[in-house]
Amino acid sequence: NEIKIFSPATVANVACGFDVLGFCLDSIGDEMVIRKTDKKGIHITKIEGFDLPFEAALNVAGVSALAMYEAAKPDCGFEIEIYKNIKPGSGIGSSAASAVGSVFGMNELLGRPYSKTELTQFAIKGEALASKCDHADNLAPAIFGGFTLVKSVSPIDILEIPSPKDLYATIIHPQIEVKTSEARGILPKEVPLQDAITQWANFGSLIHGLHTSDYNVIQKSLHDVIVEPYRSQLIPHYKEVKEAVLEQGALGAGISGSGPSIFALSKGLENAKNVKEAMNNVYSKTKIAFEIHITKIN
């Protein structure tokens, strides 16, 4: 009647895939305990790590739990304990991890009535509370693992994309907060046709590179001509970090989700470690605190 779960952090957008592509970081994440109770409803009983609301309707994990609870109409209630490790506003899917954790755990306790795609649908409600819009590019990789492509949010349609076996991600997380809603607010509503052509060429070839484990094609495709020019201004030393990791031989780099985290992809662990060193060199010279993680993409 109780389950303890790990809800992973994720990198959304992956350079050219704004709002549709993401991958899972299975070494960083939140923990949650979900418990079936006789008392009906959704009750958040414990939150550790960050100061977040206990009222279910105001809490990201609570909102997605309520969406599933209202659909399932179970003959019980649920208690949720949240042990939050992923800092909100860090750009590695903090709200998505919360939104996914509650519904994933409840689904297990109910005997898995819902598919992963249906869980994503419930979790979108929680994510929307945090980011003020419906996007599932952090939710889907947290639920499915690996790389996912959100073909559509309405109706919800998720594709799982394979990862080459030696693909690693290095993520630097400067300890400043960028709110997703604000990082979305500064984006243009329209894009020039030539930029759109460049972006969908890169995106299509990135998906091809992932499918065929062609690191050269992946490397050529990791560019973002639409979002990065705007959002990179919100991230201190973004350009320096990017230049430094590319010089170290990273396949590519970009803003993780809506920032401020920056991700780089590498072929092999050795290169990922060199990339970590390059990121470290740039940020050690600043007064901004930071953390760097390396993870294999499965």
Annotated catalytic sites, by residue?
A: 127, 180
Binding mask 212-251 for ligand HSE (x = CB under 6 A): ----------------------------------------
d(CA 26, CA 281): 25
Which of 35, 87, 125, 135 touches ligand HSE (CB under 6 A)? 135
13 is a site residue for ligand HSE (CB under 6 A): yes
Count of residues touching ligand HSE (by CB under 6 A) = 12
Q: Strand, helix or coil at 79?
A: strand
Q: Which stretch binds ligand HSE (CB under 6 A): 50-58, 66-74, 117-125, 135-143?
A: 135-143
Query: With contact defined as beta carbons under 8 Å apart, do 109 and 46 qualify?
Result: no
Site string for ligand HSE, 172-211 (x = CB under 6 A): --------x--xx---------------------------
Q: Which residue lies nearer to ligand HSE by CB, 19 or 79?
A: 19
Q: How far apart are CA 219 and CA 290, in angstroms?
A: 26
Q: To the nearest 10°, the Cα dihedral for 115, 96, 260, 270?
A: -50
Residue with the CB atom nearest ligand HSE in the bound state: 257
The single residue among 26, 137, 224, 228 that binds ligand HSE, judged by CB under 6 A, is 137
By CB under 6 A, tell whether 258 contacts ligand HSE.
yes
What is the CA angle 2-67-92, rounded to 5? 75
Q: Is 257 in the site for ligand HSE (CB under 6 A)?
A: yes
Which token pair is 143? Answer: 């639920």
Cα dist. 104→19, 44, 107, 110, 224 in Å? 22, 15, 5, 10, 32
106 or 222: whose CB is closer to ligand HSE? 222
Asked if residues 50 and 34 have their Cβ atoms less than 8 Å apart, the reply is: no
Is residue 138 a contact point for ligand HSE (CB under 6 A)? yes
Taking the complex as a whole, how short is the minimal distance between the CB of residue 133 and ligand HSE, in angstroms? 8
Candidates 255, 194, 256; CA nearest to 229 is: 255
CB of 135 to ligand HSE, least distance (A): 5
Rounded to the nearest 5 percent, the helix, strand and coil shares of the chain are: 40, 25, 35
Q: Which residues bind ligand HSE (CB under 6 A)?
A: 12-13, 18-19, 135, 137-138, 180, 183-184, 257-258
